[in-house]
Chains A and B, each alone.
Chain A
Amino acid sequence: MAEKIVSLKNVCMYFGGIRAIDDIDFEVEKGRVFGIIGPNGAGKTTIFNVITGVYIPTSGEIYFHDNLLNKLMPHTIIDKGIARTFQNIRLFEDQTVLDNLKIAHFSHTRYGLADVFLNSSRYKEEEQRIEEESIKILNFLNLADLMNKKAGALPYGEQRRVEIARALCCKPEVLLLDEPAAGMNPAEINDLNQLILKIREQFNLTILVIEHQMRLVMEICEEILVLNFGKKLAIGTPNELKNNPAVLEAYLGKTN
């Protein structure tokens, strides 16, 4: 049995009377690409938000390895090794691509105020290390040409890739991708599929991905969670789900 890296146990998140997610249970094995699908409003992003500390779940437990994540703030969760991207891209738009990546090294940077004012060797070495690591990741994602461009000025697809690059700079073990293929055409989705598999390999990641694009989900996910109205509808491999009547009903409507 493979090692479980992320597990949710009976997690509920209520906003007043609205049950955004209701009694969700699942486990993700280390090294997997794990998909989360479901109609709009099914609670997919809410799952990411409770894992990453944006919301504190109403009840239930969230584990990363054996550590309970409930009630931790986003910045502590990042330090533990979970990074994410956003459905609405959240780059620091006024800053260059390279600076965006450098910010993501925040928790791994060690120099003090005095180092900056004295321009100490530690400061220079740290800055150089951060810059080199950032450029390495940009090269890996074929984004090096853009490094001095303002992030906000890039086309949508490139912004998404920069966001993935930035998340990688946080040195995560688990990467959460929230609709990485939104707004992409079929050729771009193919590239993205390759990219996701490539970064998993290179950075030894476990990847959770929310997606509407069935091509992406069916081609690269090894296990998929299907949500409907905040509840777990099904979980299984792409092939198992293709023939699952409950999933077909939620997606295609009832057939007689």
Chain B
Amino acid sequence: MNINIIIQQVINFLQLGSIYALCALSFTMVYGVARLVNFAHGSIFGVSMYVLFFASTFLFERIKSPWFVYVIVLIIASVVTSLIALLLESAAYKPLKNAPKIAVVVSSVGAGMAIQYLILNLAGSKALRMPALIPNLRIELAGIPVPLYKIMVIVIAILTMVILNVIIKGTRLGVAMRAVSQDRIAAGFMGIDTGRVVSASFVFGAVIASVAASLYGTAYSIFAYDVGEGIIWWSFIAAVLGGIGSISGAVLGGYIIGAISIIAPILLPVSSYKDIVAFAVLIIVLLVKPTGLMGKKDIEKI
């Protein structure tokens, strides 16, 4: 294998890993703060794809500056998905506050399906092609041509993670989120409005999912109504692999899943064997460390 292909594959790995990392991050964030496995998150991702598609198709015909359009459609998608996430929280989760945890999980699966089939009915089952959200220039890296959009996908993903990290580490909201994720009751007694912090985590999840969707659309362009389904599985697996609830774990898990998805098809005879490898890695990690790679033991005190 020559150096050219290796560099291309490394970039492909970073691109896919970044997208999985962001998705896992958005998933794990809601879990960490709200203690809720939000399987409807894939559908939020799906909604985001369609909003990006329709908004960008509409705007590209009218506005010539591609970066401007990208920012605008991203904001529109973030707002729409945030509203849906908040609606979901108040309609599907809050009423089940005192119900067994499994009821909330089932509710999230149901809500996710409802949204997915709503997309199917409104937008049809035909696969769509996302307009090039990020302008595609070619640059040369050490003499090897690299499509700029792949680099931009990686850069935007990492930038999003850095901004998120600053918010979580430095701001009042971040401090509140960390407190709520560690002990919701004690956090309330520190003067933190825990209900609002939980809602904020849903908004964060939706915004990060929208960024991830814009990158996914840029990287792979073709999608259909069930696009969120695959994404939710892989981001859930990445989040569990890294330790669910752990931000750094989600990022690590995302890149590991990304690496497996790129490397396994090269080494194995059949490309779909990559799923077997990914699940095998997950199972082995969980056997050795049931809390995931970066997860902490969560002892429930009575």
Contacts and interface: CB of A to CB of B under 8 A. Distances in A.
Nearest to B174: A116
Interface string B159-190: 00000001100111101101100110111111
A251 interface: no
A84 B189 contact: yes
- State the 8 A-B residue pairs at the shortest beta-carbon distance, nearest first: A107-B191, A74-B188, A90-B186, A78-B191, A116-B170, A92-B182, A106-B191, A116-B171
A74 B167 CA distance: 25
A106 B172 contact: yes
A86 B186 contact: yes
Interface residues of A, number: 32
B192 A75 contact: yes
Interface of A: 52-54, 73-75, 78-79, 83-84, 86, 88, 90-95, 102-104, 106-107, 109, 111, 113, 116-117, 123, 166-167, 170
Contacts of A75: 188-194
Contacts, number: 75
Contacts of B302: 88
Contact of A52 (B172, B182, B189, B296): B189
B189 A74 contact: yes
B301 interface: yes
Given A94-B296, A103-B175, A170 B182 contact: no
A88 B301 contact: yes
Nearest to A163: B186
Contacts of B185: 54, 74, 90
Interface size range on B against A: 20 to 34
Contacts of A170: 189-191
Given A113-B171, A116-B171, A79 B166 contact: no
B147 to A, nearest CB: 31
20 contacts: A54-B185, A73-B195, A75-B188, A75-B191, A75-B192, A78-B191, A79-B191, A90-B183, A90-B186, A93-B182, A94-B296, A95-B178, A95-B182, A102-B175, A103-B179, A103-B187, A113-B171, A116-B171, A117-B166, A170-B189
Contacts of A111: 172
A78 B193 contact: no
Contacts of A117: 166
